[in-house]
Structure 1
Amino acid sequence: MQSVVDYAIYMLDPEGFICNWNEGGRRIKGYEDEEVIGQHFSQFHVETAI
């Protein structure tokens, strides 16, 4: 998963919080690990899409 750079891949815990984030996520979304790990996945989606 970490070697994939063309796609933003993140793993969620059962409550929907990000527990893993790949290099593609850093490049595509522009966030570093410490900005994303522990945050809820909904930060990447508009409220009406959830």
Structure 2
Amino acid sequence: MMSLHALFGRHSADLKASRWDNGRFVTDCLICGREMIKHPAGTWQIATRR
């Protein structure tokens, strides 16, 4: 079941724990713990599984 948090996308990146990984920044959401990524000129978003 998907939470309202995930449905509305109000994730909050943990900026203190962000790290550089293969040309992008990586951290976790402070609210739900899901992995988030950000490319240098982009915005934080939930990482998708490939």
Q: TM (normalized to structure 1)?
A: 0.26
- Bigger RCO (CA 8 Å, 6+ sep): 1
**Higher strand proportion:** 2
**Higher helix proportion:** 1
